[in-house]
Amino acid sequence: MKGKRLIQAIGIVAIINLLSRFMGIFREIVVGYQFGTNYAADSVALAYTLPNFFYVVVGGAITTAFISVYTKIEGPLGQREYLERVFAWMAVGLILFSAGLVIFSEQIIGLLFPGLSEENFRLTADLFRIMAPATFFLMISMWLTGILNVNDRFSWAATATLLLNGSFLGIAVVFFPWLGAFAHAWGAVISALLMCVFLVVLIRRGKFFHFGFSFKRSPETWRTMKLAVPILLGGATLQLYFLIHRMFASFLGEGYIAALNYMSKIVQLPQSVLMMAVTTVVYPLLSRKVAAGEKSGISSLYMKGLRLMGISILPVAVFVVFYAEDIVRAIFQYGSFSEQSTEMSAPLLKILVIGMFFHAANLYVTRFFYAYEHSIYPVVVSLVSVLGINVGINFLLIEPFGAAGLAWGTSIASICNFGLLLIGTQYVLKLEKTSDVKWGADVLKLVTLLITFAALLYGWQTMFEVGGAYISLAAGACIAGILLLLLMKVLRFREIDDMVDYVKKKVVRSR
């Protein structure tokens, strides 16, 4: 694909993915509108946990490994045989696996979420029994998007995800008056089926694969499975946080599973947007620098990227801490989502947003390990942080602090994960220090910026009380933006000068 076409494709994919992400958040808003923070909202979140986990984590790992192996096979005949073998083994394995989820739905829900009440358990198991077949269609669909991507049909693959979220949302809204919570269960299955059919039609029309079967063993198929395992472990971090949240929250009162889920979706958005930027822009550039052995350029990219992320995400986190109640009211407080639901959710948002930068930074830093093909260290660090530190803090804090303790476990674990990754960049990757980035001075300036920004926001909120969530949030955002720009100018952040120069160039060109 030529440069201009590649840039256009990246832009289209980014827009479609962003729309898909917002549609996913809107679906959570609909769940909040329909159920608020009652036991039905908990059940809807719990029942979709495993299908989504297998789709994102396992399906994503298999697809990534598949692309890596497929691109190295020479000749269309070899590629066709490889596709047939992977498809055959995946189809049979997923049919048996999905059938097992349906048959043992009650045992699985009881094992993962043992603290549920009888009413909540029964509804969750019934919803999961309907949703479980979606696992087959979701994971097959993820693999089919890999086929489209290796054939440079990026926008087609992104459109399939948009179709998934859009049809899921539409079915849940349209059929809710008749089916209640089960509208979401059928929405999960039907939307996954529609996405799968859509992808099959596109692939057959493009003649990329004719869906033949072959159960012959081959070294390529085995290599795909071996490659998928470390990718799976490394990519499971965020989804494991969600799963552990829900496992522990099943012992808490009604609605806390839903509240944690709603607030996690808000915090997850910057990481999702960053994922697109890293995947489409940063990672290819980084890979080229590693291949060329440009150590100083790699170190400069690493530090500048972290600096830019800190400047863009940390002030937003500070703003969210001060305006958490208004944000929750403006986004969620409709229908069954009452003021009591806001009072339950907003404190969790304040805690979870503390880890927002670190979740995104962990994603960014791990890409440097992958570019150097040092995948073991970040995988071990992620597992230690999620299954060790996070679980340990949850056990310690759930009794005295409830859901807030689980939120603290996630944020603290993400901070520890970041610290361990920073150590790894020094002793494993051995990134060089560069003269154009002054690490100590930059950190000091950023800390000064955040403290001053927080103090000024506190002063604004104390002196001026603006009525209504929308008005308060809009006024606060405007004031925060002005304050942030002024502080960055006073503290001489280079990004302000770069922004001004960019605007001046645009004005000159328009003339």
Q: pLDDT per residue over 16-71, tens digit each?
A: 777 887 888 889 999 999 999 999 999 999 999 999 999 988 887 888 777 777 77
Whether 12 has a pLDDT exceeding 90, the answer reads no
CA distance 252 to 272: 29
- Residue 393: pLDDT over 70: yes
d(CA 160, CA 169): 14
- Please state the pTM of the whole predicted model: 0.87
- Angle at which helix 237-249 crosses helix 391-401, to 10 degrees, equals 30
Q: pLDDT tens digits, residue range 266-300?
A: 887 766 665 555 555 555 566 566 666 677 777 77
**Which residue has 């490994």 as its token pair?**
65
Structure tokens at 220: 């390529």
pLDDT confidence of residue 489: 79
pLDDT at 507: 46
What phi-psi label fits residue 432: left (phi over 0), alpha (psi between -120 and 50 degrees) or beta? Answer: beta
Helix (H) or strand (E) holding 97: helix 76-103
**Three-state SS at 432:** coil
Banded model confidence at residue 311, pLDDT cuts 50, 70, 90 = confident
Q: Which of 261, 364, 281, 189 is nearest to 40 (CA)?
A: 261
What is the C-alpha to C-alpha distance for residues 505 and 499, in angstroms, rounded to an integer? 10
Q: What angle do CA 430, 435, 441 make, to 5 degrees?
A: 95
Domain ranges of the chain: 1-235
**What phi and psi values does residue 208 have, to the nearest 5 degrees?**
-85, -25
Closest residue by Cα to residue 358 from 430, 429, 309: 309
Q: Which of 37-46, 95-104, 278-287, 384-393 has the lowest mean pLDDT?
A: 278-287
Nearest Cα to Cα of residue 180 among 126, 104, 236:
126
Strand ranges in 420-492 using DSSP code E only, listed in sequence order: none
